[in-house]
């Protein structure tokens, strides 16, 4: 990490942004491109290897071509404590079909070689530990990946990942929740790079009929703690939800609805749902 | 009591303290500052293990629990409540029973059993659930959730919830529910709701996953009453705290009955709560060798086992860094054991640490070895042990035989062998295991309904 900050730099800028500048965060750049267009960024989630590695790559490209600015590729894991039934079923099937963790790099490369979307990997921490944090980071960077979203890794336990992500210029997206104390919010925002993932509700992934009112408060708290970019996920499933969240957040994350789409209608269904979701991105009073 | 303090020139000098430690005779109260004690390790880390590998959503609840626990420990009212419940509800102190006829199968050393099987609900589990349920009340929570494999911790949790007027929901793998339908009925009799878990492998680890999902969504009014000394901080240190009474009682009882400390302490290890409870009393007694016996299942070479420390690699699962049964991708491997209570692919982080520093030796015991020890204890002592505890008994037989061989190799007399002492934590009673054991020993009439139940692995 550079130690020669320009003394004239705007000191009100949070540390996260200084990091962004140093590492040319791919996630931040993608969100900023959307912002320049007067809209929120759309982030779509797909589990790697569901129903196949090839299908995940094709669906990722379809996401990017139909309005997604960032793509989250999930690593199927045996014990996904933050996932609801739809994503659990998909990742269980991917594992049963013989998915291997190293294939996530094929998925990332397959998408980044065909699109300019920022591609992040969302993973529970043990698969990274098993491969080795440095090895995993190096391979992700080589595949063109933007960084990691880590649902069960908090900054308190992330020393190894902080060092590796600095070494390879990767974004580290930590989660903040309605239950996060102001102190934890600040620490998590400072540890994050690219964006901060605001959990909209106390619960696990899955489509819900409405967006929790807690989401707006979490985003406000993260912004107040110095976050430049805050994206909202959990329970976001249609263009109406996207529109509501785009009013106050920098990005909107959709997962379960896209997984259900690929399950029920394949890549074409992912493309049409993405197109529909993206209609909600533009802020009415941009 | 044999005390080797005869020549201590100046009690309290560094040299004499070190000598006393090396000679294995250092009472806890003589610990001075700066000397390494392994007792009362506070967490969150035990060496490289432990910590909080948990979603951010749950960190506030863990902080609240830690804070409540720390305050409670320092509150005489809380410790008095625990002491009262232990004495007048659970039936503590549990007995220490010398197993003279069983000892003949353990090389001829003396064997003592710490009788956690005599506690209310039939195992050590009650120590932890009463403590955590009281903490739940202190936090103003009205609902507790728990995971269970065979049903022992579920039954204990339902018991504590009934006693203290809390709503109780127990997550149990659908496969386990089917195999343990009578334990499901026990929990329901006690007023709990049992939710079968159909995700993943439908066993204990998936029940924990589902309990964590419930906790994330309901953390405002719900306490997760985790059943073993694993999970995110403060659970490992807190669960140990509530089980430390086992080791404290056992240490005092063995000194009272034999005048000295045991040569070895043995316990079975699943997540490791009964073991850490009894080990804790002896961690700072260097003369006492400590053994944890993991479930070797059908044999560690078969891959069908639950010998996490013996064959696992460090990883993170269910909130802690610890040894873990996992494949090359870091996916959790399903464990196998005849004992549902040991059938878990993880282990408490303090055990991983004690293994790494060499203070405790961990070894696998196969299903067959455990069932032979089970049979022996029934026939020689009139005590039907839990199959979990039978792993500790089988280990104690090996340890006793080794101690006898060591004495013989050193040219010692037979009388020296019978002075050796092995202490075993008999963590639970075997009433629940009667059908499994009857099937194992082929005691059932082929056409009986019981034989049908036993084929399913029912543990009554």
ipTM field: 0.91
* Percent of chain B residues past pLDDT 70, beyond the cut: 90
pLDDT of residue A208: 83
Would residue A11 count as lying in a domain?
no
Q: Whose CA is closest to B26, among B15, B39, B17, B36?
A: B17
A259 belongs to a structural domain: yes
Angle between helices B125-138 and B235-258 (to 10 degrees): 140
Q: Count Cβ neighbours within 10 Å for each residue of B198-233 and write b for 16 or more, e otherwise.
A: ebbbbbbbbbbbbbbbbbbebbeebbbbbbbbbbbb
- CA A269 from chain centre, in angstroms, equals 21
For residue B264, what are the contacts with CB-CB under 8 A and spacing of at least 6?
B288, B289, B290, B291, B396, B399, B403, B421, B422, B423
Judged by DSSP in three states, A63 sits in helix
Q: Which residues lie below 8 Å from residue B429, measured CB to CB, with a gap of 6+?
A: B117, B118, B122, B123, B384, B385, B386
Q: Please give the pLDDT value at position B200.
A: 81
* Residue A109 included in any domain: yes
Residue B24: burial class (beta carbons within 10 Å; 0-12, 13-18, 19+): middle
Closest listed residue to residue B340, CA positions, set B455, B175, B159, B126: B175
Tell me whether A82 touches chain B (CB under 8 Å). Answer: yes
Find chain A residues with C-beta within 8 A of B233's C-beta.
none
Range of the domain at A104: 26-174+236-279
**Selected residue of A154, A187, A218, A225 to mutate for chain B interface (largest B Cβ count, 10 A):** A154
The residue behind tokens 């420390």 is B309
When CB atoms are compared, the residue of B200, B216, B331 closest to A202 is B216
Q: Give the H or E element holding residue A176.
A: strand A175-176
Q: Which letter, b or e, does each residue of A178-214 get, where b requires 16 or more Cβ atoms within 10 Å of its Cβ?
A: bbbeeebbbbbbbbbbbbbbbbbbbbbbbbbeebbeb
Instruction: Give mean pLDDT, residues B394-419.
Output: 95
* Distance between CA atoms of residues A270 and A254, nearest Å: 11
Q: Is B57 on the interface with A (CB under 8 A)?
A: yes
pLDDT of residue A254: 97
CATH number for the domain harbouring residue A41: 3.20.20.70
Q: Determine the Cα–Cα distance for residues A189 and A201; give it in Å rounded to an integer.
A: 18
User: pLDDT tens, B263-317?
Assistant: 999 999 999 999 999 999 999 999 999 999 999 999 999 999 999 999 999 999 9
Give me the sign of the Cα torsion angle A241, A199, A257, A29.
positive
B317 interfaces chain A, CB cutoff of 8 Å: yes
Structural domain count, chain A: 1
Residue A4: inside a domain: no
Do B52 and A100 count as a contact with CB atoms less than 8 A apart?
no
Residue contact B329–A92, C-beta within 8 A: no
- Known active-site residue B432: no
The proportion of chain B whose per-residue pLDDT surpasses 90, expressed as a percent, equals 82
Do the beta carbons of residue B299 and residue B305 sit within 8 Å?
A: yes
Nearest CA in chain B to A151: B55
Name the average pLDDT for chain B. 91
**pLDDT for position B199:** 86
Dist. CA A125–CA A76, nearest whole Å: 11
**B56–A180 C-beta distance less than 8 A:** yes
Report angle CA B425, B296, B350 to the nearest 5 degrees.
55
Structural domain contains residue A246? yes
Which residues of A are known to be catalytic?
A: 72, 83
User: Of these residues, B116, B147, B175, B249, which one is catalytic?
Assistant: B147
CB-closest option in B56, B315, B332 to A176: B56
A239 touches chain B (CB under 8 A): no
Active-site entry in B66, B116, B125, B381 = B125
Q: Is B198 on the interface with A (CB under 8 A)?
A: no
Give Cα A222 distance to the centre of its chain: 16
In angstroms, the separation between the Cα of residue B79 and the nearest Cα of chain A is 30
CATH architecture of B96-122+243-441: 3-Layer(aba) Sandwich (3.40)
A244's enclosing H/E stretch is helix A239-246
Best to test chain A binding among B45, B331, B333 (most A CBs inside 10 Å): B331
Q: Which stretches within B269-386 are classed as H helix? A: 273-280, 308-311, 349-356, 367-381
Nearest-10 Cα torsion for A56, A58, A60, A66: -150
Q: How far apart are CA A20 and CA A29, in angstroms?
A: 9
| Distance between CA atoms of residues A35 and A281, nearest Å | 10
pLDDT at B398: 98
Task: For B430-452, write each residue's pLDDT tens digit.
Answer: 998 998 999 999 998 877 766 66
Residue A161 covered by a domain: yes
How does B56-91 read in b/e, with b if 16+ C-beta sit within 10 Å? bbbbbbbbbbbebbeebeeeeebeebbeebbeeebe
**Cα A232 off chain centre by:** 9
Q: Please give the C-alpha separations between residue B145 and each of A178, B151, B156, B178, B207, in angstroms, as whole numbers.
A: 21, 13, 12, 20, 11
Closest alpha carbon within chain A to B201? A78
For residue range B158-204, what is the model confidence (pLDDT) as tens digits? 999 999 999 999 999 998 888 788 899 999 999 999 999 998 888 89
CA proximity to B190, closest of B127, B146, B226, B135: B146
Beta strand pairing status for B319-324 and B313-317? antiparallel
Q: Residue B20: pLDDT above 70?
A: no
Domain boundaries, chain B: 96-122+243-441
Q: What is the pTM of this model?
A: 0.91
Out of A92, A127, A151, closest to residue B55 by CB: A151
CA distance B200 to chain A (A): 7
The full DSSP string for B207-229 is HHHHHHHHHHHHTTTEEE---SS
B420/B410 Cα distance (integer angstroms): 14
Measured between alpha carbons, how far is B120 from A62 in angstroms, rounded to an integer?
61
* Rounded Cα distance, B410 and B401, in Å: 14
Helices A53-65 + A103-112 axis angle, to 10: 30
In which element (H, E) is residue B313 found? strand B313-317
Q: How far is CA A163 from the centre of its chain?
A: 20
Give the Cα separation of B52 and B321 in Å (integer).
8
State which residues of chain A have pLDDT below 50: 1-22, 286
Whether the per-residue pLDDT at B104 is higher than 70: the answer is: yes
Whether the pLDDT of residue B19 is over 70: the answer is no
In DSSP terms, B110 is beta-bridged to B421
pLDDT in tens, B108-142: 999 999 999 999 999 999 999 999 999 999 999 99
């Amino acid at each position: 990490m550079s130690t020669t900050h320009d003394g004239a730099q705007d000191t009100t800028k949070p540390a996260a942004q200084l990091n962004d500048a140093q590492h040319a965060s791919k996630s931040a750049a993608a969100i900023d491109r959307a912002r320049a267009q007067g809209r929120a960024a759309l982030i779509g989630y797909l589990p790697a290897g569901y129903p196949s590695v090839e299908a995940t790559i094709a669906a990722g490209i379809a996401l990017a071509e139909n309005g997604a600015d960032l793509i989250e590729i999930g690593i199927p894991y045996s014990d996904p404590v933050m996932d609801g039934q739809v994503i659990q079923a998909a990742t269980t099937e991917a594992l049963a079909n013989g998915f291997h963790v190293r294939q996530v790099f094929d998925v990332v490369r397959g998408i980044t070689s065909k699109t300019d979307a920022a591609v992040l990997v969302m993973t529970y921490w043990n698969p990274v530990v098993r491969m080795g944090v440095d090895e995993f980071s190096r391979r992700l960077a080589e595949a063109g990946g933007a960084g990691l979203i880590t649902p069960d890794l908090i900054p308190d336990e992330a020393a190894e990942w902080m060092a590796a992500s600095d070494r390879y210029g990767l974004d580290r997206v930590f989660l903040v929740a309605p239950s996060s104390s102001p102190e934890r919010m600040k620490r998590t925002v400072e540890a994050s790079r690219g964006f901060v993932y605001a959990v909209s509700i106390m619960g696990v992934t899955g489509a819900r009929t409405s967006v929790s009112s807690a989401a707006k408060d979490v985003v406000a708290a993260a912004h107040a703690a110095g976050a430049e970019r805050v994206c909202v996920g959990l329970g976001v499933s249609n263009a109406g939800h996207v529109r509501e969240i785009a009013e106050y957040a920098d990005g909107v994350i959709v997962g379960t609805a896209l997984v259900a789409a690929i399950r029920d209608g394949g890549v074409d269904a992912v493309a049409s749902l993405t197109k529909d979701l993206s209609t909600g991105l533009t802020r009415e009073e941009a | 009591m044999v005390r080797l303090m005869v020549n201590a020139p100046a009690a309290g000098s560094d040299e004499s303290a070190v000598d006393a430690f090396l000679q294995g005779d250092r009472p806890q109260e003589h610990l001075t500052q700066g000397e390494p004690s392994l007792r009362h390790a506070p967490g969150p880390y035990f060496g490289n293990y432990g910590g909080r590998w948990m979603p951010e959503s749950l960190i506030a609840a863990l902080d609240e629990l830690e804070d409540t626990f720390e305050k409670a420990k320092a509150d005489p009212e809380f410790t008095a409540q625990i002491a009262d419940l232990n004495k007048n509800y659970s039936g503590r102190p549990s007995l220490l029973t010398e197993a003279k006829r069983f000892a003949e199968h353990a090389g001829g050393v003396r064997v003592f059993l710490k009788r956690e099987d005599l506690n209310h609900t039939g195992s050590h589990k009650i120590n932890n659930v009463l403590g955590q349920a009281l903490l739940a009340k202190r936090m103003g929570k009205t609902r507790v959730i728990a995971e269970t494999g065979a049903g022992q911790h579920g039954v204990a949790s339902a018991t504590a919830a009934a006693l203290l007027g809390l709503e109780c929901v127990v997550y149990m793998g659908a496969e386990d529910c089917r195999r343990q339908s009578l334990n499901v009925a026990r929990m329901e009799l006690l007023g709990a709701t049992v939710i079968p878990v159909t995700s993943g492998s439908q066993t204990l680890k998936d029940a924990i996953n589902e309990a964590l999902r419930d906790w994330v969504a309901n953390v405002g009014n719900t306490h997760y009453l985790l059943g073993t000394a694993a999970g995110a901080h403060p659970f490992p240190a807190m669960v140990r705290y509530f089980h430390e009474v086992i080791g404290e009682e056992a240490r005092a009882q063995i000194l009272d009955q034999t005048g000295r400390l045991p040569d070895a302490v043995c316990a079975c290890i699943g997540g490791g709560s009964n073991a850490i409870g009894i080990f804790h009393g002896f961690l700072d007694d260097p003369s006492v060798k400590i053994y944890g016996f993991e479930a070797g299942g059908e044999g560690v070479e078969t891959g069908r086992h639950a010998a996490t420390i013996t064959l696992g690699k460090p990883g993170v699962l269910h909130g802690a860094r610890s040894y873990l049964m996992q494949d090359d991708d870091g996916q959790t491997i399903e464990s196998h054991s005849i004992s549902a209570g040991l059938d878990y692919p993880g282990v408490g982080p303090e055990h991983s640490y004690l293994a790494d520093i060499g203070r405790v030796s961990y070894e696998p015991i196969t299903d067959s070895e455990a069932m032979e020890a089970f049979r022996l204890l029934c026939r020689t002592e009139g005590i039907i042990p839990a199959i979990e505890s039978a792993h500790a008994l089988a280990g104690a037989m090996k340890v006793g035989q080794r101690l006898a061989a060591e004495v013989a190799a050193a040219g010692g007399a037979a009388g020296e062998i019978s002075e050796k002492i092995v202490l075993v934590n008999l963590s639970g009673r075997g009433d629940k295991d009667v059908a499994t054991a009857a099937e194992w020993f082929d005691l059932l009439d082929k056409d009986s309904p019981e034989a049908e139940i036993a084929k399913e692995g029912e543990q009554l």
